[in-house]
Structure 1
């Protein structure tokens, strides 16, 4: 008998999970509070599938660095303390994770999942002919404006067999758009990828609808989860009670609202912003993905548009556009790539990345025997989605997971 699985959340994580489960023969229901799929954090993110550059934000020296950032008007990080116990608990746990040994261990966990996610997406693209989302293997440059940060990065490559250290001249030779950029060098990873996350979500949704084994419940918010004797048995959708056999929570930064007794979901939204800049024939946009390390800005060419994404704002749950933050991103992008596109016609966006303090997602089983988590991917949701989905499908199907899940196991409250 096929597994029947209900998934709360219709972003890239929830949809990828549904796709992996349907591929494995399950019957799936996806419940999404909004009227459309992939329309929040997945809508206009950075677009980079950054498999080998996955170091968590929490690291030694970051708290002191963050204080310096907060004193600057052009800081990539903004903290607005609130009378919110969840924010303070998250910040305390984040500070506890800001140690080199913890960062190295968490980076290793993320790299393991990221590389599996890359191989999973490869299988889906090739075996299922899954396309239509501007996927390219274009390579990525992490560029540095300061010699000290460049030296630190080159001494700690995540995957030395696949990464190259390049001088400024070598960067410009590889990517002509960098000819006039003020970088001292870069780390180059040739097999990194790029894609349109929202379009990917729509392709997954189309395949799921065509399968005949996936139902979508859109515009319906889950208001409660019913449980009894160590298992969940139903979810409330307003006045409707929907029975469930297996339940996956993949509702992003709002997932803590669904927490049950004994279940700890240490998530907080890290607000980010993006510009989608049209590229005309007269423009000279970078073909390679670029991460400006010192300014914490990523650039990714997605078809005939340049996606520019940046900022970590720890300011609560308000997803409204901040004109000052967007103006800063636009000014810095013009300063770096003046001819990359029509910045005056850029489409502005803000989204809430659901992050754990450690930067490692919550993936797997819970104390409730039929309740599963796929949460907390932060800025790496698109990168980690396929691997996370496949692992969860294996677990629900009572198969051995393809990777070691050390570091990902959700903890009890």
Structure 2
């Protein structure tokens, strides 16, 4: 099915079983649920994390309702992200050398990082916690856990494909090439690359052999690269919308509620209902998967989530016969820019702006991104017709998502994936589904659970 048809189909109440406000109020509450292992659950958030979570819970045998405030799925960070499924390239931003690099980036008007005080305590609290994680041993432990989550998520995506048979999502597995501009940085990373492992350290010439388009702008800057076979790319937006269509036909799916979640109803230490601007929705369990908006909602019931938006930009540039886009997925390490061919478009994603809850497109940042891509891949796509986008990636200071139970019974988390929400969504959905079902997590959760405030 064409993407335009998917988008048009999503707006149909008949096909997608939208629940009206009256039906919200008449849904059975938790005291009347059948306690046979099947639970009545509500997932809050219609991005890739929320939809994969709803699917995993339905597959686990639970009756699921999905709540999304917008009129369509995947309108936030899932809309036009980088599209890379980087199961092996998961190193969190918080690392020992980042504070010094950050100072250099801030002095460069075209640099990958921008900081602007937003006048909130949340921003400074997050930054202090982030700096506390910028230590080698902490980064290594977090990376190990994220590698495990990435490998598990890759397995879960393959399983999802077997059951949901998603098509028209521009899925390819060309491998990923991380290129380096500084010889010292490349030598340091190459020295850690083990022989016989999934990653291979490549010279400049070997990089050009794998991806000839790197030479279109002159490759004098290229010091080398790390190539990982099997890494994939796909259209996150199309995948989320199409999985929503599959979910709508699932026998355990109760419907999609378009409403703004505003608060929870708590009895004792248990969450028993979700308040929305269209009424209350009772259930046995609730999963927060609403990205950045999860923090404000959790705070209403005394649960503080250390989330802050990392603003990123992307360009979606059309590819025609005269163009020579990269075949493999490419990440420019120093410039923090990634390139992925998604169907007949080149998706370019870059930048980390700490500017608060602001999705406006800054013309200066957009111009900097255009200069960068035209210099690196001048023949890859029609940049004059590129469609710009800016989105907010909900990140924790450590770079690891928060999965599982909160201090309140019946309230679960699947939040804080940062720039790797697409990559981790399949695995984190399965983990949460297992936990809600009373099963142990398939991987260790130390470093992946809610940290004390």
Same fold (TM over 0.5): yes
Superposed counterparts of 1:180-195, under 5 Å: 180-181=218-219, 182-195=221-234
Partner of 1:221: 260
CA distance in 2, matches of 1:98, 1:160: 30
Of residues 98, 116, 121, the one that matches 1:80 is 116
Q: Describe how 1:1-400 pairs up with structure 2 within 5 A.
A: 1=36, 2-157=38-193, 161-179=197-215, 180-181=218-219, 182-260=221-299, 261-400=301-440
Q: Is 382-391 or 64-73 further displaced after alignment?
A: 64-73
Residues 258 and 158 (structure 1), Cα distance of their counterparts in 2 relative to 1, 3 Å cut: farther
5+ unaligned residues in a row in structure 1: which ranges? none
- Mapped contact 2:42–2:283 kept (Cα < 8 A): yes
The 3 A distance-change label for structure 1 pair 411 and 160 is farther
Displacement of 1:216 in angstroms is: 4.2
Contact 1:262 1:412 survives alignment (8 Å): no
Does the C-alpha gap of structure 1 residues 259 and 202 become closer, same or farther in structure 2, counting only changes over 3 Å?
A: same
- Distance (whole Å) between structure 2 residues aligned to residue 239 and residue 18 of structure 1: 21
Separation in structure 2 between the aligned mates of residue 106 and residue 10 of structure 1, nearest angstrom: 27
Residues 92-140 of structure 1, C-alpha deviations (whole Å, 9 max, x = no match): 0000000000000000111110110001101111344233211111100
Q: Partners in 1 of 2:89 and 2:196 — Cα distance?
A: 12
Q: CA deviation at 1:214?
A: 2.1
- Flag the 1:388–1:159 CA change in 2: closer, same or farther, 3 A: farther
Q: Rg larger in 1 or in 2?
A: 2
Structure 2: stretches of 5+ with no match in the other structure:
1-35
CA offsets 1:237-289 (integer angstroms, 9 cap, x no match): 12511112100001101111112445220000000000001000110000100
Q: Does the Cα contact within 8 Å between 1:264 and 1:410 map onto a contact in 2?
A: no
Residue 8 of structure 1 contacts residue 31 of structure 1 at CA under 8 Å; is this kept in 2? yes
TM-score when normalising by structure 2: 0.89
- Alignment size in residue pairs: 413
Q: 1:229 to 1:157 in 2, by over 3 A?
A: farther
Deviation at 1:157, TM superposition (A): 3.8
Root-mean-square deviation (CA, aligned residues, Å) is 1.4
SS at match of 2:198: coil
8 Å Cα contact 1:367/1:412 also seen in 2: no
- 1:219 Cα shift? 3.6
Paired position in structure 1 for 2:6: none
- TM-score calculated relative to the size of structure 1: 0.97
CA distance in 1, matches of 2:112, 2:452: 33
Q: For 1:177, what is the secondary structure of its paired residue?
A: helix
